[in-house]
Structure 1
Amino acid sequence: MNPLQRALVEKAGHDYGFEYVLASGPEGVTLASARHAARAQVSALPEGDYLLHLQAATPALLPEMQRSFAHALHAGGFVANNEAALAALLDRSASLARALPSQAAQDFEAAVFHQLDQLPAGFAGTEVERLVRQRVGQQKFRAAMLDYWGGACAVTGLDLSAVLRASHAKPWAECANDAERLDVFNGFLLIANLDALFDRFWISFDDTGEIVRSPALSGVICDQLGLKPGMGLRWLSDAHRKYLAWHRKRLRQRR
């Protein structure tokens, strides 16, 4: 890798989620971030392309990247034929590294600790702490969902963040622990009307990602709500399916 290539890789890392350069030399560049635990190793291929290898702190990162960039798989990594393609790889891997378990949970605990530390002594274990944890947790969950879904609705692809909601499949109050509450696979980023329906178990998704509707929703109502045959998730991970199974059971119990 020549000096110009190294400079371009370092700038791409800085701009797209890997702001620290851990090593830089003829063999390539190693990048990291203070916001997540993933590392990126970028080397140059003889034909001038870049090869990205990721060191992931969560086992979910690589499968998600392989799904998103199946066309770029090469030699155990991802090939980018120019700086723009490399930037897209870095940006997506950084977003996923921030969103996927357990980075969101770690960020949540750090944020809660910081906010509770600002309160007078004696609030540990009180209703105040519960409210702080819920507020911070919902903020972190939404941020993780925006990262995971690329800032766009999981169904429609609409990227207007003001009308997008981070909707839990297994509701906050019914989760067994904070890991479940903050699991990015326990929910979907949805436009407001789909969120309202999903949150109240009027709709769900099957194991292929297609929308499942409650029998109580008539065809006329579905038309008015914009629910069309064949609508479904833009993609679906195996890790979503256990939460969706729970969610569909609640939908079937609706009367």
Structure 2
Amino acid sequence: MTSLKRALIEKAGHDHGFEHTVSETGTAVTLGSARHPAKAEVSWAQQGYAMALVQGPATLPSELARSFADWPRAGDAYVAATDAQLAQWLHRAAVLAQSLPNQAAVDFDAQVQQALAALPTADSLSTEVQRLVRQRVGQDRYRQAMLDYWGGACAVTGLTLAPALRASHAKPWADCATDAERLDVFNGFLLSANLDALFDKFLITFSDAGDLLVSPQLSSPDRHLLGLDGALKLRWVAPAHGPYLAFHRDRFGNV
């Protein structure tokens, strides 16, 4: 690998979520970050760049496989023919590593402490203030994780208008036993505002295959006005969504 190629790889990493060079050899550069646990090894060959994960959340490989299903592979490595493709792969790997469990929960604890430290001492010691801060910070962190995981687009319609998107919980915040559950990116979906309102009230839910299920409480005219006439379904469903979807369908069936 030439010094120019090494510099291009390091710059791509720095600009797209892997700001540190962990190690390098004559043929590859290993990139990492202080913001997430993933590490990626990038090498250069005649056909272009080869990118392989060497560390990261347990679900990251399967999520990358979904995101880049049509990309050529060389063993465990993905092959990118251009600098733009290299940047695309690094960016997706980084945002997934930041959103997948349990990185969101780790970030949440640090952000809560920062928010409390910015308050007057008397206020920060109040149990109610701490509860409100944890809820506000947690909801913000969950929304960002959902935006990252779903690529800023509604999990059903693909809508990318951020002000109209909501981070919906399948198992509601108040019913979660731990912060890890509350912040789990698989505990819900990024939905357009109308779908979020219905999902939040258990008037719609999804099958394990991602098909939209609509409550009989919604009349045919209401379904039409809400845009539920078509065969809507989730863009994808990961296995880790399963337990949360089962919880949501149970409540859906008892509304």
Indicate whether the TM-score tops 0.5: yes
Quote the residue 1:43 is aligned against: 43
TM-score, length-scaled by structure 2: 0.95
Whether 1:103 aligns to 2:103 is yes
- DSSP 3-state at the match of 2:41: strand
**Structure 1 residue ranges, 4+ long, deviating more than 4 angstroms after superposition:** 121-125
Question: What amino acid maps onto 2:75 in structure 1?
Answer: A
Quote the residue 2:193 is aligned against: 192
Question: What amino acid maps onto 1:110 in structure 2?
Answer: A
Whether 1:9 aligns to 2:25 is no
Whether 1:64 aligns to 2:63 is yes
Quote the residue 2:19 is aligned against: 19
Counterparts of 1:15-164 in structure 2, within 5 Å, are: 15-45=15-45, 47-72=46-71, 73-119=73-119, 120=121, 123-124=124-125, 126-164=127-165
- DSSP 3-state at the match of 1:98: helix
User: Gapped runs of 5+ residues in structure 2?
Assistant: none
Question: What amino acid maps onto 2:161 in structure 1?
Answer: L
**Deviation at residue 121 of structure 1 after TM alignment:** 5.0
**Residues 167 and 188 of structure 2 are in contact (CA less than 8 Å); yes or no, is this contact kept in structure 1?**
yes
Counterpart CA distance in 1 for 2:36 and 2:185 is 15
Counterpart CA distance in 2 for 1:209 and 1:86 is 31
- DSSP 3-state at the match of 1:129: helix
- DSSP 3-state at the match of 2:53: strand
**Residues 154 and 192 of structure 2 are in contact (CA less than 8 Å); yes or no, is this contact kept in structure 1?**
yes
Counterpart CA distance in 2 for 1:114 and 1:68 is 34
Whether 1:210 aligns to 2:211 is yes
Q: Deviations over 1:73-99 (max 9, x none)?
A: 321121111111111111110010000
Question: What amino acid maps onto 2:63 in structure 1?
Answer: E
Quote the residue 1:172 is aligned against: 173
Instruction: Give RMSD over aligned pairs.
Output: 1.4
Counterpart CA distance in 1 for 2:25 and 2:5 is 10
**Deviation at residue 122 of structure 1 after TM alignment:** 7.5
**Residues 186 and 240 of structure 1 are in contact (CA less than 8 Å); yes or no, is this contact kept in structure 2?**
yes
User: Gapped runs of 5+ residues in structure 1?
Assistant: none
Counterpart CA distance in 1 for 2:144 and 2:124 is 27
TM-score, length-scaled by structure 1: 0.95
**Residues 108 and 137 of structure 1 are in contact (CA less than 8 Å); yes or no, is this contact kept in structure 2?**
yes
4-13 vs 167-176, which deviates more? 4-13
**Residues 165 and 195 of structure 1 are in contact (CA less than 8 Å); yes or no, is this contact kept in structure 2?**
yes
- DSSP 3-state at the match of 2:155: coil
Q: Deviations over 1:192-243 (max 9, x none)?
A: 1011011111101101111110011122111100113320111110001110
Q: How many residues align?
A: 253
Question: What amino acid maps onto 1:163 in structure 2?
Answer: A
Counterpart CA distance in 2 for 1:195 and 1:253 is 19
Share of identical aligned residues, percent? 55
